Amino acid sequence: MTRKLLTGNGAAAWGARLARIDYLPAFPITPQTEIIETLSNWIEGRELECRMVTMESEHSMLTAAGAAAVTGVRVFTATSSQGLLYATEMLYTVAGWRVPLVMVNVSRGLSSPITLEPDHNDVLAMRDCGFLQLHCATCQEVLDNLLIAYRLAEHPTVRLPVLVNLDGFYLSFTREPVLIPTQAEVDRFLPPFNPGSIRFRGGEPLSEGVAVLEGAAYSYFRYEAHLASLQGIRVYEELGQEFAGLFGRSYTALECYKSEDAEIVFVMIGSFATKAKEAVDRLREAGKKVGLVRPRLVRPFPAAALRGALAGKKGVAVIDQNLSPGKGGILHGELASALYGMAEAPPVLASFVGGLGGRDISSEEFFEIHKAVQRAVSEGVNPSPRLLYTEEELRGVRTMQSVARAADTKQGGGA
């Protein structure tokens, strides 16, 4: 075991290497490319025995990944943002094949306008595709969860592809100390893949993705995929415990940080949650009873665990780094449905949207979020959703708009 400074992308590459992946279909996109670059260097240097194929698009990449998974080899791939969306059709399709593979998504905001910086609209747009989703907050978690992801995907009752998400820039290009376990240590947790019945061969006929042109059969297969996904919560918890026994780092469907005795709780996913932890520490110093609950699993959604962790709280602030236009924060809606009708449901469930396109959420903003929820609790009114934005930011946009002559009714730029 060595402790090294690694970027999130480096940690993802190490995770894939230690998982002894067999097949790697690839297509480049910022900010994910470093993962594939790192793996391809290892493959070239014979440090990793793996077949890498560069594809002509993410759509083909996912098709290749699924097709390889059907033969019973361990498959890894990675993408981001527009690339993930371009693969959408095959994400749904491959998930329906019920074969295991692991894909990393490095979160990046979607067009338009174009950005390279992160938010969660890309990965949450794939919420319903059938892949399980693990969301990481640190580079260590990226490496560890890649190993867990293979066990989860390959688990005989689950047998679904898993997406491991890390935030662009804030994790992908950020180095942090990461413990890299030895191959022998990893082999004890994640032995070579035993595909069992997953073995498509040229000489043994198998039709995948078959047509079922009536509702009862279609529903059966869709329900089964859903039920298998739900099993993923229990399986993840078990794997997390096993992992802790071997490596000393434990993973649960929810990370609860100082939330047990908290009156007000922040709920968010991804790497910005460590910023929320920092704010929790500062608010605790100022005497506030506040904590953080962070789902690592988004699909399957750990509803029961969230109900347990949030029962009896006075107020909850859901901070969404995504925006569903015409509705609001996606996580907020998910949480509301999990808490509805519960006897001890928190009376205040406030929605904050921020961190879109890499926009920072400062400590001061976390303090203000806390203050707003505290006020709502004492007034007994759930506040309307807030889109985090400052006067200074709007001034900056106004400058851009005047350069772009956005308000000029004589369009076309004629002076």
Partner 1 sequence: MYRIRLHGRGGQGMKTAGRILGSAFFLAGFEVQDAPRYGAERRGAPIFAYVRAGRTPILERGVISRPDLIIVADDHLLAMPGAGVLSGAQPQTAFLIHSHEKPSLWRERLNLQGPVFTLPGLPENELRFRGAACAGGAAALIPELNIDLLAEAVQEELAPLGPELVATNLGVARMAYASLAAHRGAVHEGGPVSAGEYTPPGWLTLACEEPLLSAPAIHAAATSELSQTGLWRTERPIIDGSRCNRCWWLCSTFCPEGAIQVDDERRPRIDYGHCKGCLVCLAQCPAHAISAVPEEEAAAQGETP
Residues that bind partner 1 (CB under 8 A): 5, 7, 112-113, 116, 169-170, 173-177, 271-272, 274-275, 277-279, 281-283, 285-286, 288, 360, 362-365, 367-368, 370, 386-392, 394, 401, 403-409, 411-413
Q: How far is the CB of 139 from partner 1 (least distance, A)?
A: 9
- Distance in Å, CB of 406 to partner 1, minimum: 5
Which residues, in sequence order, are CB contacts of 410 under 8 Å at separation 6+? none
| Residue among 86 and 169 whose Cβ is closer to partner 1 | 169
Say if residues 126 and 106 touch (Cβ distance below 8 Å): no
Closer residue to partner 1 (CB): 17 or 159:
17
381/406 with CB nearer partner 1: 406
CB of 346 to partner 1, least distance (A): 21
Q: Which is nearer to partner 1, 176 or 185 (CB)?
A: 176
Q: Which two tokens stand for residue 184?
A: 């022998």
The structure tokens 């789902």 sit at 295
Hey, which bits of 70-171 come out as E strands? 76-79, 102-107, 132-135, 162-167
Token code pair at residue 234: 């229990």
Distance CA 78, CA 56 (A): 14
The DSSP bridge partners found for residue 3 are 179
Whole-number minimum distance, CB 211 to partner 1, in Å? Answer: 42
Q: Indicate the residue among 344 and 408 with the shorter CB distance to partner 1.
A: 408
Closest to partner 1 by CB, 297 vs 369, is: 369
Amino acid found at 32? Q
Token pair 């295991």 is at which residue? 100
Query: Smallest Cα–Cα separation from 313: which of 261, 380, 235, 272?
Result: 261
Pick between residue 94 and residue 290 the one whose CB is nearest to partner 1.
Answer: 290
- Name the minimum Å distance from CB 311 to partner 1: 26
Gap between the Cα atoms of 247 and 225, Å rounded: 31
- The residue written with tokens 């009114």 in the block is 381
Alpha carbon distance 39, 148 (integer Å): 19
Tell me the closest approach of the beta carbon of residue 403 to partner 1, in angstroms: 6
First to last CA, the chain: 66
In whole angstroms, the minimum distance from the beta carbon of 145 to partner 1 comes to: 17
